[in-house]
Structure formats: C-alpha cells, structure tokens
C-alpha cells in the first residue's frame, strides 16, 4: 500500500548552543517529516538516553519538528561526535556534529577521567608527500594507553611506522602515528583506541590515495582555538582577542551571554589572517561600562566542525540591590490586525532590575529591520514585550521565543506562528559545481578568483573585500558566464599589492536561496627597507646600535654584514627583529664593548621568498671617548739626543754622590 506523507529531512542541521557559562549545552536541529518521526541521539556510537544529565525533547510545529539534546554539568568527557537519526514509516535521515574542547578551560570530572577524543583525527603530510602523520588530541586520567589499528590489524612499530604519545597540557595528550615513505598498501581505515581503568574511547580516520600516487589529505580542518583568549585595555578601548585555526574560513559570531553581538559605532569586530589557516579575531568595545560585563563567547563554524572560546569580563562594583528574576505573568499572545498586514507578539513579565530581552525564531536571534520592530512598555517592575511583524508571509512562520534575563535569573516564553504560505518560487538555489579557488597568472601580475555554480533562475553576484562592498574598476573586475543552468564566476585583480590581501567573499543569490564563496588572498612582497638608517652610541657601556625599518608581510630573514663579511650572532653581536605594525619590522644590530676594530661600513640584507633588499651603507665611527690614544707626532732626533744627554747627566750626579 502507498503511504502518504514526508520522509524525514533536516531543514536545519544540528548546531550547538551554550548556556550557564558553558555548564549547559544544547544540540538543536529542525526536521521536516509526516508522520511524526522518532528521534534518536547517539554519542560516539552509543545511544544517549534521558537521565539526570541528558534531556531529549521534540517540539511539533505543523510538519516541522524542533529536536533538542540538552546536556547539564558538561565535562570534557562529553566531547566527540554526536549523531541524530530521525525515522518514520517513509524513511530515515541522519546528521552529525562534533563537540570539540580546545583548552584546559574545558570542565573535567572531580576524580578520574574516562579517555575522550576532544578533536577528530587529522592527517598531516610532508612537503614532498613521502611521509604522513596521523594525529589526534585526547584527555584522560590516569594517562591512557594507545593502540593503533590499520583495518583489523594492529599497527606495530617498525623503522617505517612510529607511534608516540606526547603530553599537550595537563591531562591532555597528542597521540601520533608517523608513516615514512608512504606506499599504496598504507591506504585504508585507521583506528586509534585509548584505554585506562575508567573506560575506552576510539576514533577513526580514512587514508586514501589520488590516482594511486599520493595520499589524499582531507582539504580542511575544523575550527580550533589553540590559545586562551585574552583581554587588554588600549586607551578607552577594551580589546578581546582569540587566535583561531580553521580551513576553510569559518563564520564567526560573538555572543554576550545568549545575545548575538552586532557591529555598532561603539562595538567593532574584526578577523585578520595571520598565517596559513590562522586568524586573529578581535572584539573591541569603546568606553566600556559595567553593562558590558558578563560572559562572552566567540563561535566559529565551518563545514568541518564548530568551536567556541569563552571569556569572562568582570567589573568591580558594589553589592546588588534587592531584586528578583524575570517571570512571565500572562500567556503569550499573537494579535493580528484586521487587514492581516501586521502581527503583534505580546508577552508580559515582572523583573527587577529591568531584564535584557532577546527574541529568537528557532535558534536564530531576531534583529530589527524595516519589517520587524521590537518595543518594551514599562510600568514599575512589569514589562510588556512586543514584537511587531509587518506584511507577514509564509517564511515568517515558525516557533518564536522571548528570552528575558537579569542578574537574578532568566525565563522563556514560546509562541507558534502559522501563516498560510504562498507557493515557493520554482527553481534551484545556487550550489557549487566547482569549489572556489585562487590562482595567479602573468608572473603574479594578475590574480584570478573563480568558481562554478549551478542555479535556476540566474543568480545575482556581489563581491566583498574584508566586509566592504567592491566596485568594478580598471584594477578589479568580474563577470559571470552562463551555460545552461551552470554559471562560471570570475574576478580578476590586476597588479596586486599588499593592501589587496585579506578575505574576499562572493555572495551568489537567486529567488530560491543564496551561497557565499570565501577566499583568502595572502600577498607577499619583496622586502623594502623603508627609513633612513639610525646609529645610536651608548658611551657608558661602549655599545653601538644600528637600526633599519623593513616592510614585509611576514618576518623576513635578516643578515648584517661588515664590509663583505657576514656578522654572526655571539656574545658581542646581537640581532633583534621586532614586529612594529602590520607589514613592518624593526631590525637592529647591537655591538657591545666597541673598539676601533668595529669601525667600518655595515649593511643589512633582508630576504623573503619573493626576493631580497640591501640597505645603503651605514658608516660606524666611534666618539673620542671610545677612541684609544693616538701618537700624532714622533720625537725628532735633536730632541731625542738632548733628552738622552740630560738623563745621562742625572745618572752621573747620582753615582758621584
């Protein structure tokens, strides 16, 4: 018999949300299905069941279901891969998400720790492709024993295969399998098993070969924060910084508590590439106040995974005034006007002090636009919270949540909005046929960024550089060529300079959806020795310092020379290279205990992969206080004879006495 309905599909893939300073995690996803599906969550292959720490919920909204896995009192043992499976009579679907912990701030159990892989294994390859390293990060106490398997066969150490376990930081370890001179027979599935007296954990990774020649390394890495975030004050600006590793470039969202932070004249967010797959993320707050205090979270997400960095910002202040947590005192209401052109969602709560209000649709924070307006009507300690939606359409349907919070607690009110939707536009949203890439031509004088997408109807494209909208000019131009429903998108950048480095984004959009192509352009230049050289002499310590300023994207290799001789660093000669600002370095040669042998002509050679620059000759002379005595004129023969006669006369007188 034929069954009418919808097989489960994920309209929103799983995502992770933190609450209570990271002590509570929520895995959330949205599923389309009819009839209602059964939803099963698993962690590292083991089914997650409801208990004191785990809460599983499925909320219905028509044929859409909002599934949540909530974990309380999170510890590092909760890291790893999670899988959610939705199933009904018409079929099933599943999706996965990884929970990674990147620093020793991850909460740990009070006593012993079961082995847990905190990140998925990665494969690294030597430059010539002949050697590979499979590496994974784990936690455990006591220290776990590590066993590797290739297929079903245990890997034994040989001259070609080396197994190692290295302490990364307290309780954390890096397990590695190094394979030298890789052969075709090394391809296949690898499994690493970590075991101690509290339990066992496993992780797998597949090594495959392209054309039977070289190992195929996964082209990407999940976001990872390798260092603790930092906070510092720069004048009237408070700066929070995180170092991030990821490939491809992840999407970045900053939160204060559960509230998404947006760019304003007072709050600025930035992302800067500092090396291969490495970025410096900044959140800058001008003239901070006590209201800016609290817990901040930097969320990074790309197709390979998701990670968070947490920062606590505390301001010293007086004791809290008497107050109470927010509480809703009326059932939430949805009120349409007579013509249906305006819908008002209304919630009423009491709180002291005034709460921070956040509206969400599903898991996405609702922002004010020309169509959406939010208001608060206040009377004593009672607040009427209003969300007004103009000209509502089908896509506005869904589950809305009003979240209120003050220093004493928080509360939520849910509203389900159903709007009869108009027919969805026919066609296909843009999808990549060939992934975005960057290449150079004409000896580096032309940079090309291109990709190929499939879409119907024809999409519109907009290019951005470091978040700023680009306009076509004689230096930068782009085009889109059509063939059937496939489009070739190409941007050309002529005579690229260091100022053209950064993240480029192409937004590709039609009526059915949109797509973003993100590419990072790093441009190195031949070093330029920028300023007139300086020579500083410190008379008291007989020290001479020579300084040059060098322009280079990355730190250049610097060599000092005297005449034609390379100066090597020793107790007398020291070289200092200091990063002054982006693309500029101060290079100093310090000469201790100078003597006349140190006088002469000096020059600096600065080199990188693009070429080298040589400074003008720097003449080093010594001040009189450092010069040894010099005989300007020798005695004449007449004076010397007179002195000799005088000395002999004195000696004669002394002897006769």
Pairwise CA distance, residues 634 & 303, whole Å? 85
- Give the DSSP per-residue string, 462-510: EEEETTEEP---SSEEEEEEEETTEEEEEEEEES--GGG-EEEEEEEEE
Give pLDDT, residue 318.
38
Give the number of other CB atoms < 10 A from CB of residue 617.
12
Taken in order 350, 355, 361, 363, the sign of the CA dihedral is: negative
Q: What is the mean pLDDT of the chain?
A: 83
30 CA to centre of own chain: 27
Alpha carbon of residue 151 to chain centroid: 34
**Tell me, what's the pLDDT at 321?**
44
How far lies 76's CA from each of 36, 230, 444, in Å? 34, 22, 47
Contact present, 161 and 167 (Cβ < 8 Å): no
Burial of 167 (0-12, 13-18, 19+ CB in 10 A): exposed
Task: Give the pLDDT score at 573.
Answer: 92
> What confidence tens digit (pLDDT) does each residue in 230-285 have?
887 776 788 899 999 888 888 899 988 878 898 888 999 999 999 888 999 999 99
Chain CA centroid to CA 189, Å = 29
pLDDT of 319 reads: 37
Low-confidence ranges of the chain (pLDDT < 70): 1-4, 21-22, 101-111, 169-170, 210-219, 235, 314-322, 420-425, 531-532, 538-540, 623-636, 639, 647, 652, 654-657
* Model pLDDT, residue 13: 80
Question: Residue 157: which of 177, 137, 135, 134 has the closest Cα?
Answer: 177
pLDDT given for residue 123 in this prediction: 84
Q: Name the pTM for this structure.
A: 0.34
Element (H, E) at 640: helix 637-656
Burial class for 536, CB neighbours closer than 10 Å (0-12, 13-18, 19+):
exposed
Report d(CA 520, CA 502) in Å as an integer: 6
The SS3 assignment for 651 reads helix
The residue written with tokens 């609450």 in the block is: 19
CA dist 379 and 416 (Å) reads 27
What structural domains and CATH numbers belong to the chain?
A: 6-99 (2.60.40.10), 113-218 (2.60.40.10), 224-313 (2.60.40.10), 338-417 (2.60.40.10), 428-521 (2.60.40.10), 528-626 (2.60.40.10)
pLDDT per residue as tens digits for the range 555-603 = 889 999 998 899 999 988 999 999 888 778 899 999 998 888 888 999 9
Find out whether 496 and 523 touch, Cβ atoms under 8 Å.
yes
């Amino acid at each position: 018999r034929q069954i009418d309905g919808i097989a489960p599909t994920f309209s929103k893939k799983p995502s992770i949300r933190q609450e209570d300073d990271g002590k509570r995690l929520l895995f959330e996803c949205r599923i389309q299905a009819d009839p209602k599906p059964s939803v099963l969550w698993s962690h590292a292959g083991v089914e997650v069941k409801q208990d004191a720490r785990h809460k599983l919920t499925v909320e219905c909204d028509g044929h859409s279901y909002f599934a949540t896995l909530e974990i309380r009192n999170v510890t590092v043992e909760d890291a790893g891969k999670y899988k959610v499976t939705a199933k009904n009579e018409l079929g099933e679907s599943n999706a996965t998400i990884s929970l990674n912990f990147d620093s020793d701030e991850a909460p740990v159990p009070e006593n012993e720790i079961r082995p847990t892989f905190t990140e998925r294994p990665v494969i690294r390859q030597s430059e010539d492709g002949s050697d590979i390293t499979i590496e994974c990060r784990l936690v455990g106490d006591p220290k776990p024993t590590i066993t590797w398997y290739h297929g079903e066969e245990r890997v034994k150490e040989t001259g070609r295969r080396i197994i190692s376990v290295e302490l990364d930081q307290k309780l954390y370890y890096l397990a590695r399998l190094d394979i030298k001179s890789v052969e075709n027979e090394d391809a296949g599935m690898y499994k690493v098993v970590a075991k101690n007296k509290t339990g066992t954990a496993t992780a797998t990774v597949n090594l495959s070969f392209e054309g039977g020649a070289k190992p195929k390394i996964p082209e990407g890495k999940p976001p990872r924060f390798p260092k603790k975030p930092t906070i510092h004050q720069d004048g009237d600006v408070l700066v929070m910084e995180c170092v991030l590793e990821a490939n491809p470039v992840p999407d970045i969202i900053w939160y204060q508590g559960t509230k998404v932070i947006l760019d304003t004249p007072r709050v600025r967010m930035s992302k800067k590439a500092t090396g291969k797959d490495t970025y410096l993320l900044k959140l800058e707050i001008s003239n901070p106040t006590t209201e800016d205090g609290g817990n901040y979270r930097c969320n990074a997400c790309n197709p390979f995974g998701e990670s968070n960095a947490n920062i606590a910002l505390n301001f010293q202040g007086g004791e809290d005034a008497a107050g109470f947590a927010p509480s809703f005192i009326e059932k939430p209401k949805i009120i349409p006007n007579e013509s249906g052109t305006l819908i008002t969602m209304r919630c009423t709560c009491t709180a002291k002090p005034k709460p921070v209000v956040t509206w969400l649709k599903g898991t996405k924070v609702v922002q004010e636009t020309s169509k959406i307006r939010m208001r608060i009507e206040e009377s004593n300690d009672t607040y009427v919270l209003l969300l007004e939606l103009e000209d509502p359409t089908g896509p506005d349907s869904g589950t809305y949540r009003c979240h209120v919070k003050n220093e004493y607690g928080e509360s939520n009110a849910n509203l389900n909005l159903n709007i009869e939707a108009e027919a969805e536009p026919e066609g296909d949203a843009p999808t990549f046929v060939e992934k975005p890439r960057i290449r150079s031509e004409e000896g580096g004088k032309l940079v090309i960024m291109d990709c190929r997408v499939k879409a119907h109807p024809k999409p519109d494209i907009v290019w951005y550089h470091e978040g700023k909208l680009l306009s076509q000019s004689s230096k930068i131009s782009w085009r889109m060529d059509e063939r059937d429903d496939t489009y070739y998108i190409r941007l050309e950048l002529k005579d690229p300079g260091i100022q053209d480095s950064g993240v480029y984004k192409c937004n590709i959009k039609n009526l059915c959806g949109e797509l973003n192509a993100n590419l990072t352009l790093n441009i190195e230049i031949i070093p330029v020795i920028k300023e007139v050289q300086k020579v500083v002499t410190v008379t008291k310590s007989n020290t001479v310092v020579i300084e040059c300023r060098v322009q280079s994207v990355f730190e250049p290799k610097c060599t000092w020379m005297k005449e034609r001789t390379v100066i090597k660093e020793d107790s007398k000669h020291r070289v200092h290279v200091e990063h002054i600002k982006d693309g500029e370095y101060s290079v100093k040669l310090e000469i201790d205990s100078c003597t006349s042998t140190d006088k002469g002509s000096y020059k600096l050679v600065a080199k990188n992969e693009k070429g080298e620059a040589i400074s003008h000759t720097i003449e080093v002379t010594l001040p009189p206080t450092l010069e040894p005595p010099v005989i300007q004129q020798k005695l004449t023969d007449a004076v010397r004879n007179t002195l000799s006669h005088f000395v002999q006369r004195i000696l004669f007188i002394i002897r006769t006495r």
